[in-house]
Amino acid sequence: PGKRVLIVYAHQEPKSFNGSLLKIAVEELTKQGCSVTVSDLYAMQFEPRATRNDIVGRLHNSEAFNYGVETWEAYKRGGLSKDLVEEQKKVQEADLLIFQFPLFWFNMPAILKGWMDRVLVQGFAYDLSKAYDGGLLQGKLSLFSFTTGGSKEMYSKGGIGGDIRYVLWPMQHGIMHFCGVKVLEPHICYAPENVSEEKRKEMLTAWTQRLKTLWKEEPIDCSPEWYFK
């Protein structure tokens, strides 16, 4: 109770299975007394492209545009675009970040990748020599919750898609761990479009159940062994 949660949600359709998972998380966490904020990226028409528009006013070097340098400098002088400042404020205030999305091509959808690219700028999320366990977002938790098209068998060792943990490395280790954010076990719903209505209901119930004891969970050990053992 009293915990603050930011859910970054990337699905176009409220009636989708992802939409149901979002609804469950908002309801269950609110019931627990958490303060829940949702960034509904498609509804916000969130901009995924990292461009000059993210910097208000003059560039640090207008001769050759370097997105990393420009957003770092803009962050320091308070010159990032309004939509980024708003997202950063939500991140800053959150104890837990939940990412809810359908897996697209072994990865998050572009609109969510754009949120990572644009919101987690140097100076805000990490800095020179402040990365991984020293990242600037220390003290926060994260959880990747997603649906797949392929089955659990396909995403297993020996399956054609390989161990699902392989696709978690860039997201969990490369982004969250890099920023100092601890990572909870991912929540994966395999192929909800290809199972029975009963099975889908079971998956929704499992998510509700997990959320009930979420705050007692220990983060994973986000080392190469967890992913590639």
Of 198 and 225, the one with the shorter C-beta distance to a second copy is: 225
| Least distance (Å) between residue 28 CB and a second copy | 23
The three-class DSSP label of residue 55 is strand
| Cα maximum dimension of the chain | 59
Contacts of 171 (CB under 8 A, 6+ apart): 99, 107, 108, 144
CA 65 to each of CA 29, 53, 85: distance values in angstroms, whole numbers, following the listed order: 42, 11, 21
Number of chain residues interacting with a second copy (CB under 8 A) = 51
Of 139 and 160, the one with the shorter C-beta distance to a second copy is: 160
Interacting residues with a second copy between 185 and 214 (CB under 8 A): 193
| Least distance (Å) between residue 228 CB and a second copy | 5
Q: Tell me: does residue 227 bind a second copy (CB under 8 A).
A: yes
Given a contact cutoff of 8 angstroms between Cβ atoms, the answer to whether 106 and 161 are in contact is: yes
Q: Tell me: does residue 146 bind a second copy (CB under 8 A).
A: no
- Compute, in degrees rounded to 10, the torsion defined by CA atoms 79, 85, 91, 92: 60
Q: Which residues bind a second copy (CB under 8 A)?
A: 12-13, 15-16, 42, 45, 48-52, 63-68, 104-111, 113-114, 116-118, 120, 131-132, 149, 157, 160-162, 166-167, 169-171, 173-175, 178, 193, 224, 227-228
